[in-house]
Amino acid sequence: MDLQKLETFVCVSQLGNLSKAAVALGSLPSIISRQIAALERTCGGKLFYRTGRGMALTALGERLLPRAQATLAEFHNLQAEIKSQQGVISGDVRIGLVPSLAQAVAATLFRTAQVLYPGVKLIIMEGVSAQLDMWRSNDEVDITIVFRGGQSELRNEDSLGCVETYLVGARGDALTAGAVVRFNELSGLPLVLASAPNGLRTDVEKQAQRLGVKLSIVLETNSLSVQTELAARGGAYTIMAGYAASQRMAAGLQASRIVEPSISRTIAMGIASHRPASDATRRIARHARIQVMEAFKTIGMPEGLAPDA
């Protein structure tokens, strides 16, 4: 099967449009259409439905897509491996990060790759842990860095450290003015929390159920900026891991560490295991580990940290 046709098929499936795929591949829509038709003949069936809004995968196309992606990834890894044996580290490295860790390490990791491995292109993808797990299992990312509820939840991953969890409120708020807040004090508070599925929310809800604490979730959102803005305006609180909270102390917020019990989150790094990692992936993973450990020095907030401390 022609690798170029597979690449065309994957590109059309991602963009859903022949013209957009032609631009992305530096070709013409008519050539893209012929390549898809040729691949459909090889596969013995239609791969796309042609609709007024573009191209949608058929059932056959859905079955072919993950295999086509894996074949292309293996080919690109082979190309990168050959170059690395010649002393040139190159290739794409796809890194999946939860948003707060992306802010912590992405820029520094990018600069490191530019200086040490100019032939490597980083692709940074943000998502919640459940989404990143799916991407890693489907080989859509090479490296994931996520939060887990504890060591027992690690999924063929390395632990890079732990962070505590904080209740975040508006500057001047009485409840979050102190260094710590007891878990039972969350009862009845208007909370803005991440939408399910979300690991931190799951941990909070498990503790609440165990202790008989009634949570009042007034808004769900996967946007940290929305959580931050609503908490800063007062009248609502949010719950964040230490680094996410410490990043936002200048945004009119203050935070208290949740205790009795505390909620600890493990930072975990994993590498896709369905195929051998490329030399570029292994090297970037090593530097990502270093960057996370450096960021980890400031991830936990000292007791009593306030906006202007």
- Give me the domains of the chain, ranges plus CATH numbers: 3-70 (1.10.10.10), 89-161+266-299 (3.40.190.10), 165-263 (3.40.190.290)
Residues 243-263: what's their mean pLDDT?
78
Euclidean distance between CA atoms 122 and 101, whole angstroms: 16
pLDDT reading at 156 higher than 50 = yes
Cis ω before 197 (30° cut-off from 0): yes
* Residue-wise pLDDT tens digits, 39-67: 998 888 999 998 877 889 999 999 999 88
What is the torsion angle, in degrees rounded to the nearest 10, for the CA atoms of residue 104, residue 107, residue 109 and residue 111? Answer: -150
> Strand (E) positions, 58-215?
90-97, 119-126, 143-148, 158-163, 165-170, 180-182, 190-193
What would the mean pLDDT of 149-162 be, rounded to a whole number? 74
How much of the chain exceeds pLDDT 90, in percent?
Answer: 21
Least confident of 12-21, 31-40, 87-96, 232-241: 87-96
pTM of the model: 0.61
